[in-house]
């Protein structure tokens, strides 16, 4: 579907304290009536449509160019909405909800009938979360329906953390964008399967494995995330994701990056380096982007997708990226970088 113009609603968070929020009310009505609308969450911008409306959900896949076997996460404003969506709420899921909802944690449940088939990609389960963002929650409340929402970007590209990113990717492809300012966490939600037996972590995100295990004890981690030919149970488990236009290499020993930069520049490429504030002065690349602070990985997560998009804006052809220890939030950061680089390492 093509639109002559994608409408933008600019929302001042302070206005949400008032009884009326006309911009959000209009955007919510559009969602309820089958349109696709992007909106901010605490993780990234989501591309929302009525999760009970198959035609509306198909519009998400069309706008993004997203593979149809890649399931979507359903967003809700109230726990009571689960009654119409899931068969049961396991004790592990209930414990996690009490601590991390609203927040960047998506939980996989056994689903009930009624959810649009494309939301679950034909699976018997559905991933659901309650976002921790005032605009998102108000929008979901006003819509009065569960809203399926993947990241609001073209499939395979870095996820959007501002309304401008969404507009760049999806202008004229979607009905509207609710501009609630930049997001906070910067990485998509953690996804955990509580539908049967020991919970399984399928996608790392803003809530770490360690934080989860503090609440419910040991969990399993799917080491492969997805195997070729299998339908993924969670978004982010299959296909290339988060990739900039330039070729991205991960470099474990950052002392070697300067040599790689020199060789790439000698070959005539426009070269970039993804680093942190601590090392930003160490490289002689055409474009050096400091993505947060190494001693505060939350700042790296927050800036990661914006940084990858910045290389595109600078028309960088080859990017060398520092890596991070796979512990705590570093697991989620490296998950996104490895997918963005298609596991290319030097």
Beta bridge pairs of residue 287: 272
> Residue 151, annotated ligand binder?
yes
Task: Consult the annotation and say whether 241 binds a ligand.
Answer: no
Is 43 marked as binding a ligand?
yes
Confirm whether residue 129 is marked as ligand binding.
yes
Tokens linked to 218: 């040991």
Q: Annotated binding residue at 175?
A: no
Q: Is 138 annotated as a binding residue?
A: no
Residue 336, marked binder: no
User: Is 75 annotated for ligand binding?
Assistant: yes
* Alpha carbon distance 249, 196 (integer Å): 38
Question: CA 250, 225, 228, 55 torsion: positive or negative?
Answer: negative
Give the contacts of 158 (CB within 8 A, at least 6 positions apart): 165, 242, 243, 244, 304, 305, 308, 309, 340
Cα angle, residue 240 at apex, residues 329 and 191 outer, rounded to 5°: 40
Task: Tell me the residue ranges of DSSP E strands in 204-241.
Answer: 220-221
Which has the closest alpha carbon to 152: 32, 36, 71?
Answer: 36
DSSP 342: T
Structure tokens at 161: 């953390």
Is residue 185 within 8 Å of 301, Cβ to Cβ?
yes
**203 annotated binding-site participant:** yes
SS3 (DSSP) at 41:
coil
* Residue in 45, 107, 53 with CA at minimum distance from that of residue 76: 107
Question: Cα–Cα distance between 133 and 272 in angstroms, integer?
Answer: 33
Which residues line the annotated binding site? 43, 66, 70, 75, 125, 129, 149, 151, 159, 189, 203, 242
Could you tell me which residues are annotated as the binding site for L-threonine?
Answer: 43, 75, 129, 149, 189
* Residues of each annotated binding site for ATP: 66, 70, 125, 151, 159, 203, 242
């Amino acid at each position: 579907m093509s639109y002559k113009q994608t409408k933008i609603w600019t929302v001042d968070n302070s206005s949400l304290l008032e009884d009326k929020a006309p911009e959000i009310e209009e955007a919510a009505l559009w969602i309820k009536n089958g349109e696709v609308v992007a909106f901010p969450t605490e993780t990234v911008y989501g591309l929302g449509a009525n999760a009970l409306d198959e035609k509306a959900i198909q519009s998400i896949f069309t706008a993004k160019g997203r593979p149809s076997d890649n399931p979507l996460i359903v967003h809700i404003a109230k726990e009571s909405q689960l009654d119409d969506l899931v068969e049961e709420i396991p004790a592990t899921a209930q414990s996690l909800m009490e601590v991390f909802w609203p927040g960047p944690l998506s939980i996989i449940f056994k689903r009930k009938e009624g959810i649009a088939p494309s939301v679950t990609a034909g699976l018997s389960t559905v991933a659901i979360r309650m976002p921790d963002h005032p605009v998102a929650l108000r929008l979901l409340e006003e819509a009065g329906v569960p809203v399926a929402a993947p990241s609001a970007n073209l499939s395979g590209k870095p996820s959007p953390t501002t309304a401008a990113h969404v507009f760049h990717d999806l202008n004229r492809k979607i009905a509207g964008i609710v501009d609630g300012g930049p997001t906070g966490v910067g990485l998509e939600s953690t996804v955990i399967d509580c539908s049967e037996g020991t919970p399984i972590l399928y996608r790392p995100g803003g809530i770490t494995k360690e934080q989860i295990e503090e609440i419910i004890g040991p969990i399993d981690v799917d080491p492969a995330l997805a195997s070729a030919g299998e339908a993924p149970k969670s978004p982010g488990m299959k296909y290339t994701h988060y990739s900039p236009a330039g070729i991205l290499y991960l470099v474990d020993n950052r002392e070697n990056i300067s040599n790689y930069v020199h060789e790439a520049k000698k070959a005539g490429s426009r070269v970039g380096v993804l680093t942190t504030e601590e090392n930003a002065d160490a490289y002689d690349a055409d474009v050096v982007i400091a993505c947060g602070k190494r001693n505060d990985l939350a700042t790296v997560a927050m800036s990661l997708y914006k940084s990858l998009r910045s290389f595109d804006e600078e028309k960088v052809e080859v990017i060398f990226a520092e890596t991070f220890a796979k512990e705590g939030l570093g697991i989620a950061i490296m998950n996104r970088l490895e997918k963005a680089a298609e596991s290319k390492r030097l």
